[in-house]
Amino acid sequence: MNEIKKRPALARTSIVVAICVFIDVGLHRLVDWAFHFNYLDNGLPVSGLVKSGLFPVAALLGFAVIFGFLALMYSISRSELGGKPLRAGLRFFAPIAIIMFFGVLESWFVFDTPFKNELITAFADGAPFIVFGVLLSRIARPETGAGGHPKATRAPWTSMLWVALFYIAGRYFSYVILHIASGYVERAFGTFGWTLCTGLSMGAFYWQAGSTFFAATPIHKALRVGALTLGTFFLLVQLFYALMFAVSVLDLVIRAVADSVYLVAGIFSFEKLFRKESYGSVRLPSERRFGRARA
């Protein structure tokens, strides 16, 4: 019986994924035409897929994987998010849209590509995820999530700052020690601003959505939010860049994996230090130190 009930929901979700994929592609084509620029002509060597003419097909598949993955993560966590459908959808997907926005802008700081082109494209990349959240909220009901798991309280807003701090420190470790491509020397102020905004975006996802995910222990929560959800999403975003341009795939993978480590460290430490009560331990005075958590 449950399998029969799941089929219509899966079909509707697949339709929403397909709609948002075509919205994403169509919006990119629209802004290219409206602002008279070709995103693929930004000074970087194009990939073999572009040269062979297969990039449009690869882009459709790449967007389908990204939207499909997020639809799965949202469907699994819908019960734990609680609240009204639209609010739950926006709590999950608004931070994702902002992460996508800054993920696109990173290429300007790394490869010094035209800023105007990157800014316009960043808006075109981020907006479809808001639409995706609105549409998906209409079909993903609480009963499609992890049934039986208790809904956790949302972390206080200061958790966003805590996660951002770990992300910023980790990213600069990557710039200096791991030598991932960046503009932290040539464009120091801009790179710091990008790193700060991206860290706050990651932290906003944990604060608004990830902190309510069910987990038996703090490390499980950190791995589920920081590695499985955010880490995998950002890896897919990074690898999409390699579909367009001849860049180092290894560098993209290293930066995404390293980002996951920093996010896991930030989320785990916050859960361990300030949210022990969520796991049945003795209640700590975390609300006095970090503000009152909101359900």
Instruction: Evaluate whether residue 295 is within a structural domain.
Output: no
Among the residue ranges 14-28, 97-111, 196-210, 221-235, the one predicted with the least confidence is 97-111
Please write down the HEC assignment for all residues of the chain: CHHHHHHHHHHHHHHHHHHHHHHHHHHHHHHHHHCCCCCCCCCCCECHHHHHCCHHHHHHHHHHHHHHHHHHHHHHHHHHHCCCHHHHHHHHHHHHHHHHHHHHHHHHHHHCCCHHHHHHHHHHHHHHHHHHHHHHHCCCCHHHCCCCCCCCCCCCCHHHHHHHHHHHHHHHHHHHHHCCCCCCCCCHHHHHHHHHHHHHHHHHHHHHCHHHCCCCCHHHHHHHHHHHHHHHHHHHHHHHHHHHECCCHHHHHHHHHHHHHHHHHHHHHHHHHHCHHHHCCCCCCHHHHHCCCCC
- Domain assignment of residue 84, given as a range: 2-290
pLDDT of residue 281: 44
Angle formed at CA 270 by CA 266 and CA 276, multiple of 5 degrees: 145
Instruction: Evaluate whether residue 26 is within a structural domain.
Output: yes
Query: Which one is predicted more confidently, 45 or 229?
Result: 229
Mean pLDDT computed over 81-96 = 95
pLDDT digits (tens, 9 = 90+) for 211-250: 999 999 999 999 999 999 999 999 999 999 899 999 889 9
Distance CA 74, CA 88 (A): 9
Residue 148, pLDDT above cutoff 70: no
Instruction: Evaluate whether residue 193 is within a structural domain.
Output: yes
Structure tokens at 138: 């209409």
Mean pLDDT computed over 90-97 = 98
pLDDT of residue 12: 92
Averaged pLDDT of the chain? 87
pLDDT digits (tens, 9 = 90+) for 114-144: 888 889 999 999 999 999 999 999 887 765 4
pLDDT of residue 2: 47
Phi, psi of 291 (to 5 degrees): 90, 165
Instruction: Evaluate whether residue 141 is within a structural domain.
Output: yes
Instruction: Evaluate whether residue 86 is within a structural domain.
Output: yes
Q: Is 250 exposed, middle or buried (0-12, 13-18, 19+ CB in 10 A)?
A: exposed
Distance CA 87, CA 12 (A): 20
Mean pLDDT computed over 33-52 = 87
Evaluated on CA atoms 215, 219, 220, 224, the torsion sign reads positive
* Of 133, 139, 148, the residue nearest 10 (C-alpha): 139
The one-letter amino acid code at 9 reads: A
Number of domains forming the structure of the chain: 1
Angle formed at CA 207 by CA 203 and CA 213, multiple of 5 degrees: 115
Residue 171, pLDDT above cutoff 70: yes
pLDDT digits (tens, 9 = 90+) for 68-81: 999 999 999 999 99
pLDDT of residue 101: 94
Structure tokens at 218: 């703090």
Residue 245: strand pairing partners: 46
Alpha carbon of residue 150 to chain centroid: 24
